[in-house]
Structure 1
Amino acid sequence: MATCFTKKPLISICIIFSCFLSHAYGRVNPNFQVRAVNLGGWLVTEGWIKPSLFDAIPNKDFLDGAGLQFKSVTVGKYLCAELGGGTIIVANRTQASGWETFKLWRINETTFQFRVFNNQFVGLDTTTAGNGIDVVAVADTPGASETFEIVRKSDDLSRVRIKAPNGFFLQVKTEELVTADFKGDSGWRDDDPSVFLMTTTGSPRGEFQVTNGYGPAKATRVMREHWSTFIVEDDFKFISSNGLNAVRIPVGWWIASDPTPPPPYVGGSLQALDNAFLWAQKYGVNVIIDLHAAPASQNGYEHSSSRDGSQEWGKTDQNIQQTVDVIDFLTARYAKNPSLYAVELINEPLSPGASLESLNKYYSAGYEAVRKHSSTAYVVFSNRLGEHDPKEFFPLVSGLKGSVIDIHYYNLFSDIFNSMTVQQNIDFIYTNRSSQLSQVTTSNGPLIFVGEWVAEWQIQGATKEDYQKFAKAQLEVYGRASFGWAYWALKNVNNHWSLKWMIENGYIKL
């Protein structure tokens, strides 16, 4: 370094090389800290962010993953998958819990398949030893024999019949015998063994639910309108002019198959992401691509596009390779774009489904997929949800150039926050969160990214000044994160979750 300051011809070279590093590593400048916002609810649907997206879905209480419970009006007890699945369906439970809850797979607005606790599907016993009418839950993969129609009473939607694929209705003959051989309509009376009182336990509202709910023709129109209006060029101008320098963009695995992704997903999200990169370049905003929804769901939540709350990601090498291929596709597409700052390999994996072993295998392969196309983009590794060693991935990533660990800090989603006062929440940031951040910040380890946080809490009736202090505390503490932070999210119908609203209304100043 000394020669750069003693030999003038080399000074220019050093300056030029320094500028090159600063640009190509926009990226690698150690003095640069990400101050980002998540574009949540845009390219990966989350119904709570924009509920109106679901308004026009017919029978929208019958979305994929909805939990249904059926109480027989004749015996007064609930249908149940005996032993949680693998054998017969009975009607002998006085209370409804897991074995008595059937998760919907939606075929269309009136036709469905029912998944039971142990993940088998309700169907007719069509084996050689069966009689074709007994109702069982033995199929691991649903087919025609596992496809039913729900018929609702027009003036009381909680009263239903279930029409089997043989054309007959289910009826409860005894508490231990449920069959599909009831012929007709007896007027919805309480002595009708085919009538059930239905209770719904709600459903996730993610990308799978919205696209499958509308069906392929309508979903294409609805989603493309959403993608073209929810986030627009002016949002990037707003971001750039309000003290932010980056966006974290959640995407789903199906984007790699655009314009013809597998059903029920529809094409068009890739064009929206292309637009985001154009706008980011125009307004000097860096982009972090975040694989928010991995194939088969890495956490079972709606924001990972789980169909019914099941979590299947990482259980096979084929599934892991499919996810690596998505990362390869995205990095290859945007590696030469100067706005690409980082690629996050997966968001919020949840154990035990996403095991340490499966994630280490995936993270190693995913890192190499990014590096195949870019030597400068940061690679972000998400910590697992739940109580885990926050340094559990350090042995893997500490030796990897440009590695970042993503941690999410919310004063929510845990009972410890339920009874906290305003000041206790603020103190928690300055003490607990500060300590946690220090614990994972090391001189020779990966950079640390607080990839999600929000100025919202469990407090009811807090004042604007309370929110301002809470936001200020988080900005101060998370501002120490070596890689930076990202607020969740830019837009939300819930005001405090919307950074745009918080800035425009004086709750947060950057």
Structure 2
Amino acid sequence: MVTLQQVLLACLFWLTSLVIANPIPLKDPNDLQVMYSHNEKRYYNYDAGSMGTPIRGVNIGGWLVLEPYITPSLFEAFRTNDNNDDGIPVDEYHYCQQLGYDEAKNRLMDHWSNWYTESDFEQIAQDGFNLVRIPIGYWAFQLMDNDPYVSGPQVDFLDQAIGWASNYGLKVWVDLHGAVGSQNGFDNSGLRDTIEFLNDENLQVTSQVLNTILEKYSQDQYKDTVIGIELVNEPLGPSIDMDKLKNDFLAPAYDYIRNHLNNDQVIIIHDAFQQYNYWDDFLTPAEENWGVCIDHHHYQVFSPDQLSADFNSKIQTACQWGVGVLSEAHWSVAGEFSAALTDCAKWVNGVGVGSRYDGSFNKNDQTSYYIGSCQGNEDISTWSDERKEQTRRFVEAQLDAFEMRGGWIIWCYKTETSLEWGVDKLIGNGLFPQPITDRQYPGQCAS
């Protein structure tokens, strides 16, 4: 009997083969008629087993992997003075280390039990999303000898969340968001300011954890809901050995699921901040390795040049993100992006690090200069009509761009305080389309 998953993968194989066999050079990046005629069946419709519906998803950020800017109250508990962030842990590793295991577990259990609940998943479905991407760290499954992390309960919460998603018709990507030793040095990996993911021992343990995830969430009991597993989030390609990443981590994981587990679960590879088409010759349809999706993340707030660009340039850049993937060999999805036009959100650049936008950025001797004030950034009553309009326009342009191919998963559904990074707040303030297909500014990527 042909399974739904097999049908889906066959469609995926057809699409990626079509793209390879018929690449079209796009002289005009805004020529949507050309793009759509080239890539007419460009979506992975996991419900109907055919191409026709983009992924329209949201990330469940700051839950099973802490990020200080998403839930600053957890980290503000460590504050000792009003003048600086001295003594505040910069990531989950140091959060647990400073508290000790028992107290860290008490606080985290409260966080895991309350930050996301079933009602959130019900609301996500009501808002029109069809998928959630759920980050989890390696330490949920296995610890290194000196790790301070709390381990174990996160897996139960993940399983519970998958059940909630199933209840409300949402699909799930399970995302290994933190690797042993950190794959990028970002606080979202669990451990900031170090990149030792590819050290042999660290790589071995991360691979063991990944195999556990692949084996569990590719089982039949999960596969109707879990339609993809991301092997590792945001490995920092420019700072690591890409050949080792591919040959010693990604390829063995693919081999494990296909040849050891004999499973057709879709696997997701983050682009490692490489240019478009970099991954075309890795696990490609030509090798009949076709259950692969490339995950691209897009932001315009992490360099002074991005922040200072004029608004029309930001829209053009967003539209080009959609064009860029059309000739890639693999199916692809924009697995992270946001509504942010500033980096003013507290700690979005890390605890103790200021904002480039207001000139207070103070990390790694990077140049920062004043673009504008961050005052009132989290108070919608202080936003001008122009800023509200630009935020809505920026969101819509990105949605239109990413729906040129596989779809999108916005980061993230909610934050404690940040307007620009919390989709629930964007929706509540009319800055995100409801229904999702509504456009106040249609055709931005077509003109």
TM normalised by structure 2 equals 0.71
The equivalent position to 2:325 in structure 1, one of 423, 437, 449, is 437
How far apart are 1:266 and its partner, in Å?
A: 3.9
The equivalent position to 1:296 in structure 2, one of 172, 181, 198, is 181
* Preserved contact between residue 288 and residue 342 of structure 1 (Cα < 8 Å): yes
Distance 2:279 2:108 in 1: 36
How far apart are 1:30 and its partner, in Å?
A: 3.2
Distance 1:157 1:56 in 2: 12
Q: Say yes or no: does 1:348 pair with 2:234.
A: yes
The equivalent position to 1:314 in structure 2, one of 193, 198, 206, is 198
* Preserved contact between residue 5 and residue 264 of structure 2 (Cα < 8 Å): no
Q: Say yes or no: does 1:269 pair with 2:154.
A: yes
How far apart are 1:278 and its partner, in Å?
A: 0.9
How far apart are 1:212 and its partner, in Å?
A: 1.4
Query: 1:488: which partner in 2?
Result: 411
Query: 1:418: which partner in 2?
Result: 307
The equivalent position to 1:408 in structure 2, one of 276, 297, 317, is 297
Distance 1:494 1:384 in 2: 27
Which string of whole-angstrom CA distances, capped at 9 and with x for unpartnered residues, describes residues 415-463 of structure 1? 2222223333223323x3244233xx34xx2111111011111386553
Larger deviation, residues 339-348 vs 322-331: 322-331
- Normalized per residue, the structure richer in strand is 1
Distance 1:219 1:20 in 2: 40
Distance 2:242 2:263 in 1: 26
The equivalent position to 2:141 in structure 1, one of 247, 256, 261, is 256
Q: Say yes or no: does 1:26 pair with 2:46.
A: yes
How far apart are 1:200 and its partner, in Å?
A: 7.5
CA change 1:20–1:397 in 2 (3 A) is closer
> What aligned pairs does 1:72-471 form with structure 2 within 5 A after superposition?
205-257=90-142, 262-306=147-191, 309-316=193-200, 318-335=201-218, 336=220, 337=222, 338-361=224-247, 362-371=249-258, 372-373=260-261, 375-385=263-273, 388-398=274-284, 399=287, 400-430=289-319, 432-438=320-326, 441-442=327-328, 445-458=329-342, 462-471=386-395
CA change 1:251–1:287 in 2 (3 A) is same
Q: Say yes or no: does 1:46 pair with 2:49.
A: no
Which string of whole-angstrom CA distances, capped at 9 and with x for unpartnered residues, describes residues 457-509 of structure 1? 13865532221111111111111123x21100011120121111212322111
Larger deviation, residues 273-282 vs 388-397: 388-397
Distance 1:280 1:447 in 2: 23
Distance 1:302 1:22 in 2: 39
Distance 1:200 1:26 in 2: 46
TM normalised by structure 1 equals 0.63
Distance 2:307 2:390 in 1: 17
Q: Say yes or no: does 1:477 pair with 2:401.
A: yes
CA change 1:157–1:413 in 2 (3 A) is closer
CA RMSD of aligned residues (A): 2.8
The equivalent position to 1:55 in structure 2, one of 76, 95, 100, is 76
- Normalized per residue, the structure richer in helix is 2
* Preserved contact between residue 48 and residue 205 of structure 1 (Cα < 8 Å): no
SS in 1 for 2:97: helix
CA change 1:204–1:210 in 2 (3 A) is closer
Which string of whole-angstrom CA distances, capped at 9 and with x for unpartnered residues, describes residues 14-54 of structure 1? xx858675689937643343211111111110001110012
Distance 1:19 1:263 in 2: 42
Q: Which amino acid aligns with 2:408?
A: W
SS in 2 for 1:231: coil
Query: 2:421: which partner in 1?
Result: 497
* Preserved contact between residue 141 and residue 152 of structure 2 (Cα < 8 Å): no
Which runs of no fewer than 5 residues in structure 2 stay unpaired?
Answer: 10-44, 343-356, 358-371, 373-382, 437-447
Please say which structure displays the higher CA radius of gyration: 1
How far apart are 1:286 and its partner, in Å?
A: 0.7
* Preserved contact between residue 174 and residue 229 of structure 2 (Cα < 8 Å): yes
| Greater relative CO, 1 or 2 (CA 8 Å, sep 6+) | 2
Distance 2:117 2:85 in 1: 37
* Preserved contact between residue 139 and residue 149 of structure 2 (Cα < 8 Å): no
CA change 1:209–1:330 in 2 (3 A) is same
CA change 1:227–1:429 in 2 (3 A) is same
* Preserved contact between residue 327 and residue 370 of structure 1 (Cα < 8 Å): no
Give the share of equivalent positions with the same residue, in percent.
28
